[in-house]
A and B are shown apart, each in its own frame.
Chain A
Amino acid sequence: MDEKASGYWSATIGLLTKILIVWFLVSFGAGILFADALNGIHLGGYPLGFWFAHQGAIYIFIALIFFYAKKMGDIDQKFDVHED
Chain B
Amino acid sequence: MDLQTMTYLVVGASFALYIGIAIWARAGSTSEFYAAGGSVHPITNGMATAADWMSAASFISMAGLIANMGYGGGLFLMGWTGGYVLLAMLLAPYLRKFGKFTVPQFIADRFYSKSAATVAVICLLTASITYIIGQMTGVGVAFSRFLGVSSDTGIYIGMAIVFAYAVFGGMKGITYTQVAQYIVLILAYTVPAFFISLQLTGNPLPQLGLGSTISGTDVTLLAKLDQVVTDLGFGRYTTTTAGSTLNMFVYTMSLMIGTAGLPHVIMRFFTVPSVKDARSSAGWALIFIALLYTTAPAVGAMAKLNLHGTVNTAVGLETTADGTLKVNPATVKANADVYATEASIRYEDRPEWMKRWEKTGLLKFEDKNGDGRIQYYNDKTKNADAKAKAEAAGWKGNELTVNADIIVLANPEIALLPNWVIALVAAGGLAAALSTAAGLLMAISAAVSHDLIKGVFVPDISEKGELMAGKISMAIAIVIAGYLGLNPPGFAAGTVALAFGIAASSLFPAIMMGIFSKKMNKEGAIAGMLAGLFVTCFYVFAHKGIFFVKGTEFVDLIGGPNSFFGITPEAFGAIGALVNFAVAIIVSKMTAEAPQHIQELVESVRIPRGSKMVDGAHH
Contact = CB atoms under 8 A, between A and B. Distances in A.
Contact of A45 (B81, B84, B223, B276): B223
Interface in B262-319: 274-276, 279-280, 282-283, 286-287, 290, 293-294, 297
B493 to A, nearest CB: 15
A76 B66 CA distance: 42
Given A23-B85, A46-B222, A66-B280, A59 B290 contact: yes
A27 B607 CA distance: 30
A1 B603 CA distance: 8
Binding site secondary structure of chain B? helix
Given A36-B239, A39-B238, A44 B82 contact: no
A61 B274 contact: no
Contacts of B77: 53-54, 57-58
B74 A45 contact: no
B276 A83 contact: yes
Nearest to B610: A83
B229 to A, nearest CB: 14
A4 B287 CA distance: 35
Given A44-B211, A46-B210, A62-B287, A33 B222 contact: no
Contact of A53 (B74, B210, B287): B74
B331 interface: no
B211 A45 contact: yes
B442 interface: no
B213 A45 contact: yes
B239 A61 contact: no
Interface string B247-262: 0110011001000000
B221 interface: yes
Nearest to B278: A69
Interface residues on A, range: 35 or more
Contacts of B611: 83
Interface in A24-82: 27-28, 31-33, 35-36, 39, 43-47, 49-51, 53-55, 57-59, 61-62, 64-66, 68-69, 72-73, 76, 81-82
A64 B88 CA distance: 10
A31 B274 CA distance: 34
Given A8-B607, A31-B74, A44-B211, A50 B222 contact: yes
Contact of B609 (A54, A68, A81): A81
Contacts of A33: 245, 249
A26 to B, nearest CB: 9
Interface string B577-619: 0000000000000000000000000010011111100000000
Contacts of B253: 28
B227 to A, nearest CB: 13
A67 B250 CA distance: 26
**Which 5 residue pairs are nearest across A and B when measured between Cβ atoms?**
A53-B74, A45-B220, A65-B283, A44-B211, A54-B297
Interface of B: 66, 71, 73-75, 77-78, 81-82, 84-85, 88-90, 93, 207-208, 210-213, 220-223, 238-239, 245, 248-249, 252-253, 256, 274-276, 279-280, 282-283, 286-287, 290, 293-294, 297, 603, 606-611
5 contacts: A45-B211, A53-B74, A65-B283, A69-B88, A72-B279
Interface of A: 1, 5, 8-9, 12, 16, 19-20, 23, 27-28, 31-33, 35-36, 39, 43-47, 49-51, 53-55, 57-59, 61-62, 64-66, 68-69, 72-73, 76, 81-84
